[in-house]
Structure 1
Amino acid sequence: MHTTTVIPTYTASRKRQQHLQAFYHDVVKGLTAPNKYLDAKYFYDAAGDVLFQQIMQCPEYYLTGCEMEIFTRQAAQIAHTLQQRAGNFDVVELGAGDATKSIHLLRQLLSNGVDYTYFPIDISANVINQLQINLPAALPQLRIQGLNGEYFQMLQQAAEHTSRKKVLLFMGSNIGNFTTEAARGFCQQLHQYMQPGDLLMIGFDLKKHPQVILDAYNDAAGITRAFNLNLLHRINHELNADFDVQQFMHYPTYDPGTGTCSSYLISLTTQQVHIGEDVCIDFAANEALHMEISQKYTLEEITALARQTGFTPVTHFADHKKWFVDVLWERS
């Protein structure tokens, strides 16, 4: 049994217009900043979703395999721990994607007889639509309520749907898309949207050999390059811009001292980019456009982050190489 929400056409149209306005505002803000940047959350349109699925299959992109190992081999242990700590609860997943990892936990919870509703949250409407079709087909007993939008707005909606204790999932090293300072702010915000006793499971990529990390963001097949350039295509299509994507080069970096991996697009020439009729952006030759960050951590840094943001570390689950961990925190 499952539930879905049908959005009236006028509501969907208004939501689409609001999204485009926010997209336009964020793009112009980033491109007119002293150090140009684009917000990584906009990578995920329909084409971006497909490209990211391909990235996760790249041999260099170890993160998916490591976390998949955790959820396939340790689902029973994770489910048991959640049931012991939380009792009756609902599951809320931030940035659910295609749920290929979380499905193992969802299946285990159903097998254990846990009565829960799954609330996947994603900024991509395409992702939510696919989940609401595919997951009930794979797990007929699953109750699902997809929520399309920004994390915190959708967390508020989830709270309006249910007052039960919640287990929040934030996997795939999505926390790494924040600087360490921003990660603290994000976790503090999560804390505000949670109740005492709620649980939070977050996936963290651990520091390891620098070349292993750098290769993960510079795959030989060039899919990560296409993923970054796709955002320029999206801006062209949705915001009536004229990026010449052939004039930008994908350039990733990794600093093993700070644990910060960054991806840039480098302008190959002096050029101008127009967005709609009113905005003109100048690029100098070799100017960098920051696209995304992927922060790496030690276990000690993760524990410190929990305590700094109002959470109590409960336990963690690691892959056999100890390259990746999914940590479980309790909201104090």
Structure 2
Amino acid sequence: MTEADNYNIITDQALVKNRIFVGNLPVCTREELASIFLPYGEVLGSVVQKNYGFVQLESEEVANKCAMSLNKSTFKTKILRVRNANNRAAKGTNANGNAKNLQMPQVPVTVQGGIVMSAAAAAAGEPVINDCEIIVVNRDNTKYAEYIEHRLRNIGMRVDVLFPNEDVMLGKVLANISSRGCLYAVLVTPQHESLSSITVNILYGVPAEHRNMPLEDAVNLIATDFRLKGQREAVNNSAGPASMPQPQRRHPDQMQQLIDMLADNRPMTALQYECIIKYLQGEREDQLKREVGEANAAAKLLDPDPEIELQKKILSIMNKPAVTETGIELMYPNLEAVRDDKRLMELLRDERVIAAMETIFNSDTLFDAVAELL
């Protein structure tokens, strides 16, 4: 897309309903701004100005979802203000002069690299987490996806249909959905619709993928697993507080969320793993200081790695000069001196020593050692 095409799209008043305003925007490129919205749908254009920007999306539905999900999200350490470009209520005025009724409370979320790191929709002041997300690769399969959505809603699940941009890898989409706390992801492709099947991803606990399941079997699998999970949680909630007090969380909330995701074996990004590693390294250093004191902790952290030390010793042995190049101080100057050592002669006459020496000379061990030296 040329700059002129991008400008024409982003300024077209006929498309204002599909446009998003982003306030408190840090310094970034158009591509970085667009990457925040890619998991929700196709980005048709974007413009970046000082402290704010606009993003043109493919439909009003996608724009509304982005405005609801990404408001008060964090991007490059700044909290974004995201709303529909034509939403005058966000500025404090509307047709009835009442803006508060049109604004929904938002839940803070974090955005890194264009991926939403936590749940973002809100209702009644509490975050709404979908039980299942239906990922539609091709919009031609929208009706099939909506039929699946209807089937899952009938069993009491909170379901939403997601149209990710084709440039976003499926693994990133699944990691995004899982990080929100979603339990299941359903993949819909043209092949699935032609075969009346779907692919089911169970995201909690030990993740599992069930590819190309017949639709009826897949719906029954999700319904049964969802029901059993609810029963287990009900039992744990009723028995847990009475039998065992819940430990207080010492970790920061965002880090605790990452640790919980790791414990549940949910899909995670490389950046999330890096955050956990750095955090745990800091915790290790603090714990060492508490256990052995500042000075001893510093010495402990500087202790050489045993594996590295072993490698150094091996290299040192391999790099030693040949025997002929080194001066050796002999224990006995001649054979007569050896014979004069009575203790040595008695030792050499010992039957156990003789048997051990015969074993060494008769085995391949000595030859292998000599071969390695040569």
Give the shorter-chain TM-score range: under 0.3
* TM-score, reference length from structure 1: 0.21
From the two aligned structures, give the one with the greater helix fraction: 2
More strand by share: 1
Structure with more contact order per residue of length (Cα contacts < 8 Å, sep ≥ 6): 1
TM-score scaled by length of structure 2: 0.19
Decide which structure has the larger Cα Rg and report it: 2
